[in-house]
Chain A
Amino acid sequence: MKRTTRVGAVVSTVALLAATAASPATAQGILDRLRQAANIARTLLPISTAKEVDIGRGIAATIAGRFPVSTDTALSRYVNLVGLTVASQDPRGDIEYRFAVLETPTVNAYAAPGGYIFVTRGALALMQSEAELAGVLAHEVGHVNRKHVINQIRKSDTMREVRDQLDIQGATLDRVVGTGSNALFMGLSRGDELEADSAGIEYASAAGYDPGGLAAFITRLDRHAGEGPVTEFFATHPQPGERTERLNAIAGRENLPPGAVLAERFRKIVH
């Protein structure tokens, strides 16, 4: 069966179920149910890894357009080595991860679909060890693994005109990239961020890093709350206290062992 037909069948079935469940069956009620059904169907739209990378490349180009990508080869190489070390623990085997540094004092990190991950110079300046960098990059790998941005795109109005992933090209791809970029810069949901924390601490620890890296970085960030470069981070992420408490609870519950901190190696290359 063609994918278009399959998606169509899902829409029809869900719509029928929704319509028959409407009681009393007012016309408006049925219409609302149909809209809900269509929204549910959109979230089920299959998007292949190749299409995910296509969308991710566009979003990554938008990120690089907002903040210039560092041309410091030694630093880029180091960030890639740390990133690839934690990404090697990601069970998704279909993604080729790439990491880059953004030349901005803004403190943040971004993960575009398809494995394009960025950390800002401002964030690196606040870090004190490789374990902290690993924690941040592993959190971003978690976003890619769970397809958080792709799922935001699926839920968006942009996808109303899309019946099949083959429709995501040309002007539609531009709109999808725009939607994904906005979702990324405006911040993902609290649930997505906490889920990425859970995945990230698992990857970082499994790679041999100390599981406390991300929590240590978030705690330090909290001390800078209110300062310009961290404003956007706090506007787009859950409260630091909630995150660190949860990360520490995961480390305890999963009995994650202490690991490598590598502060000296980090300082030599980054600071």
Chain B
Amino acid sequence: MSRGHGIARRFALAALLAAGAAAEAKAQKAEWTDVVYVPGRWAAGKLVSLKATDPRTDSLALMMRVDYFSAPPRWRAEIRRTADGQTMGNPDIIIGEGARAVVVTALGATPLEQHVLGQDPLVRAAMVFDRNGRAPGPAAGRLVERAADGSVGRVVFRRSVKNPSFADALLDPGARSGGRSLLASGISAVGDQRQASVVATAGARGVDRVKTPGGDVPVTPDSAAIRRMELLVVGAVALEDFMRTGGLGPYAVRPDSTGRRP
């Protein structure tokens, strides 16, 4: 075998391994949203806490929405809180590697435990990743977390994106060296790359306030929700069945000329 053939084979093998690794990395990507409620209700902008035992019937108050992007061991959580149960605020961006996390802002990255967000029990509860950067638990559905006395602590409605297609840059806190780990980067200035990745998901359109009859309200556009809306496809067969069982469309039962329905 010639030396040229050997090099070519090595290149082919390396390319094959690289392709396999890329495919594996793609397959490991996950993207989901948790909408978090606690027992209680909102009244005039204040949360009135209630003790609940049955999350199906007791009153729940919307607290926050968390959009997760994961490619283990790295992950990203965008946390939008509400202060009135209706309007979501701007997202807090937390990027992690394994169980360690940093809060990314326009000014820099701060380890979560040193940031005020780290003291927030709801934010702590939203840090669902293990040391390998994996999030245990179901991919979708309703998760009820109970306190020691059996009362409801949090109720989480989870919805996963079937085919995650977010950019890898979303999980990059802005470290300038590709081989450097997130934790090694520590607290550092935010680079342009990080700024772009935050902006890319935090508010693609730049509409940050909208006019309503009650005054201007801050809004962070949620393009991910619209992508999920577009992915929910109702098939023609299901629609046909729906119309048939409801007596709608071509199955509509119309009254006769006297106005009576047969």
Contact = CB atoms under 8 A, between A and B. Distances in A.
Interface of A: 57-58, 60-62, 64-69, 71-73, 76-77, 80-81, 84-85, 88, 98, 100, 103-106, 116, 130, 171, 173-174, 177-178, 181-182, 185-187, 207-209, 231-232, 235-236, 257-260, 262, 265
A260 B248 contact: yes
Nearest to A122: B86
Given A61-B204, A106-B86, A208-B247, 15 more contacts: A58-B205, A58-B207, A58-B221, A68-B35, A69-B222, A71-B228, A73-B232, A98-B232, A174-B206, A185-B211, A186-B211, A186-B212, A231-B214, A235-B213, A260-B247
Contact of A62 (B85, B210, B243, B255): B210
A21 B1 CA distance: 90
Contact of B225 (A58, A64, A185, A207): A64
Nearest to A184: B210
B207 A130 contact: no
Interface residues of B, number: 52
Contacts, number: 155
A61 B205 contact: yes
Contacts of B186: none
B226 A177 contact: no
Interface stretch (B22-30, B117-125, B234-242): B234-242
Interface in B242-256: 242-243, 245-249, 251-255
Interface in B189-234: 203-207, 210-214, 217, 219-223, 225-226, 228-230, 232, 234
Contacts of B261: 258
Nearest to B158: A71
22 contacts: A61-B226, A62-B205, A62-B207, A62-B219, A66-B86, A67-B86, A69-B226, A69-B229, A71-B158, A71-B228, A77-B232, A98-B230, A104-B85, A105-B85, A177-B207, A181-B210, A185-B210, A208-B246, A208-B248, A232-B213, A236-B213, A260-B247
B35 A116 contact: no
B221 A61 contact: yes
B87 interface: yes
Nearest to B228: A69
B70 interface: no
Contact of A174 (B62, B205, B247): B205
Contact of B255 (A58, A72, A257): A257
Contacts of A77: 232, 234
Contacts of A130: 246
B35 A260 contact: no
A265 B232 contact: no
